[in-house]
Structure 1
Amino acid sequence: MQEFLSVVLYPALFAFLGVAGSKLWDWVKPKFQKKIDNADARAKEIDNEIKSAEFYRGLLDDATRRLDQAIVAIEERDVRIAERDKKIVQRDLRIDTLLDEVELLTTEIRKYKQLNGKAT
């Protein structure tokens, strides 16, 4: 009986266990490999998302810088426009003053002509 166990049964049992183990590994390995592949794919997705977030952050930083420059330029233009408006208002006041003086002098000339006997 000892010979039967050592010659036939133990080798057959080990062979069966070896074949069963390899078949089990062939069945389990793709599942683990799929999990590993999914984890690698997810890691690549996360890396791509990080890179795209950095890219968009760079775009937003550039847009913010350009917007700040545009705001400064607009404020400078507003100051120049306000100065021009002041000059225009002052010139209009001078023109109005000059027109008033011309009208006053015109009426004075008419009065002077009437006094000298010249009718207008």
Structure 2
Amino acid sequence: MLEYILPFIGTIVTALVTWFFARRKTNAEAKMAEIDAEVKAAEFYKSLLDDAMKRLENAITTINNQDAKIQMLLSEIEHLTDELKKFKQLNGKI
């Protein structure tokens, strides 16, 4: 009877040791997969932020260019208004 029990106990001990180390390996692999997913998510959000920064800088540049054009046009309107006043004064309309 002992000759049947010893191999059975040996098999059970081997299975338990294998299960224990396999469980640790599986937990480590799961942790690595979780870390990889977090790194990929961080890279994705970083690329989104970089794209948003580029778009924001482009919009700011466009707004600044339009502001400069508006200032130039206002200056030109003031100059033309002064010229029109001078012209009216020369023709005696004021």
Shift of 1:84: 0.4
* Matches for 1:96-107 after TM superposition, within 5 Å: 96-99=85-88, 101=89, 105=92
User: 1:9 maps to which residue?
Assistant: none
User: 1:82 maps to which residue?
Assistant: 71
Distance change in 2, residues 1:106/1:50 (3 Å): closer
Report the TM-score when normalising by structure 2: 0.75
Q: How many residues align?
A: 92
Give, in whole Å, the separation in 2 of the partners of 1:39 and 1:94.
82
Q: For 1:105, what is the secondary structure of its paired residue?
A: coil
Work out the percentage of aligned pairs sharing the same amino acid. 30
Would you say 1:43 and 2:42 are equivalent positions? no
User: 1:58 maps to which residue?
Assistant: 47
| CA offset digits 1:13-40 (Å, max 9, x no partner) | 7x62x43232122233333222211111
What's the Cα RMSD here?
2.5
Shift of 1:60: 1.6
Report the TM-score when normalising by structure 1: 0.61
Give, in whole Å, the separation in 2 of the partners of 1:36 and 1:86.
75
Give, in whole Å, the separation in 2 of the partners of 1:82 and 1:70.
18
